[in-house]
Amino acid sequence: MPFLPILSLTLIASVSMRTHRFFPQEIIDERKNLYPLAPRELDELLAKGWRLLGFGIVRHNYGINNDELCLTIPLRIRISDPLTLSRSQRKLLRRNKHLKVRVEPIIQITEEKEKLFFKHTKRFRSSVPTSIFSFLCPDPKIPAPGVELCVYEGDQLIACSYMHLGKKAASATYCFFDPDFSHYRLGIYTMLLEMDLCHKMNKKFYYHGYCYDEPSQFDYKLGFYGLEYMNWKTECWHPLPRITERRIGDIDMGMDIDLETT
């Protein structure tokens, strides 16, 4: 059952709530400690809006954007055969073809990767993470088998991304990159690499996080074909058109109607 922890009550008191569509009794804020998961169990958790975060498995239907409480919208991409990519995504893959990509069947955090992680954190102005283990468990076998993608220009490591595997689904757990190479659009690039890997592994869904019910820094996750979103009330997934330049109202109205009527 959804519950409202004390922390959320404090949080709500500190922001201006849009009470016409979001009430405290609707808030979901749940966490479980990490434990070994069978592939099918990971699939089931992802399909209910859970995601992997450091030492825990979490799900929450709210976030703070521009000092306001807003709705989080779980997202996933249905993997098609062949993969359906936009013109700009195909162009990005061609432009980055000279980069070397190394795929490892186990997650290993090295000093080189930690150094890159801390360089990546300099991009943030607030809520700066202090450890890579805020996002990844130190035990590579928990909660499920993981895959590591490392991107190099020459011999220089410039990006790492991590994905955990279920039976039919994969979770894009975390990615970090060198800000000096941002012109390669490494966040999007590694997502495309992971989607391709999911396709080769015959996975059905690629869970790549969430966005908000209003424009935010997470809107890059909406620029893919095969996009689906989860309705929190029904835990059902619905198709969502690809959005490349989001404006206020592009998702808000449709999401509100679905949440109230489905």
Query: What gap in Å lies between CA 185 and CA 183, rounded to an integer?
Result: 5
Structure tokens at 76: 């996933």
Amino acid letter for position 98: H
Strands 205-212 and 169-177: parallel
Comparing 67 with 190, the larger pLDDT belongs to: 190
Q: Which comes out higher in pLDDT, residue 214 or 205? A: 205
Per the rule left: phi > 0, alpha: psi between -120 and 50, beta: everything else, 127 is left
Assess whether 124 and 193 both reside in one domain: yes
pLDDT digits (tens, 9 = 90+) for 134-178: 889 888 778 998 999 999 999 999 999 999 999 999 999 999 999
Domain membership flag for residue 1: no
- Quick check: 90 pLDDT over 90? yes
Residues 28 and 119 in one domain: no
Query: CA-to-CA distance for 42 and 36, rounded, in angstroms?
Result: 9
140 in any annotated domain: yes
Same domain, 195 and 256: no
What pLDDT is recorded for position 126?
A: 63
Are residues 65 and 136 located together in one domain of the fold? no
pLDDT of residue 249: 52
Residue type, 145: P
Omega within 30 of 0 (cis) for the link into 82: yes
Mean pLDDT, residues 192-216 taken together:
95
pLDDT confidence band for 248 (50 / 70 / 90): low
Domain span holding position 139: 87-200
Residue 27 is encoded by which pair of tokens? Answer: 């808030």
Q: Which of 200, 224, 249 is the last residue of a domain?
A: 200
* Pairing mode of beta strands 56-60, 29-33: antiparallel
Beta-bridged to residue 229, according to DSSP, are 75, 238
What is the DSSP code (8-state) at residue 257? H
What's phi and psi for 8, nearest 5 deg? -70, -35
- What is the spatial distance between Cα 76 and Cα 230, in angstroms, rounded to a whole number? 8
Number of structural domains found in the chain: 2
Residues 138 and 93 in one domain: yes
Buried b vs exposed e over 194-228: b needs ≥16 C-beta within 10 Å?
Answer: bbebbeeeebebbbbbbbbbbbbebbbbbbbebbb
> Tens of pLDDT along 25-77?
588 999 999 899 999 999 999 999 999 998 899 999 998 888 788 889 999 99
63 lies in the same domain as 143: no
- Co-location of 216 and 186 in the same domain: no
- Who's near 202: CB < 8 A, 6+ residues apart? none
Average confidence score pLDDT of the chain: 85
Q: Position of tokens 């569509």?
A: 21
Q: Are residues 193 and 223 in the same domain?
A: no
Q: What is the pLDDT of residue 250?
A: 54
pLDDT digits (tens, 9 = 90+) for 106-139: 899 999 999 999 999 987 776 677 888 888 988 8
User: Are the beta carbons of 138 and 108 closer than 8 angstroms?
Assistant: no
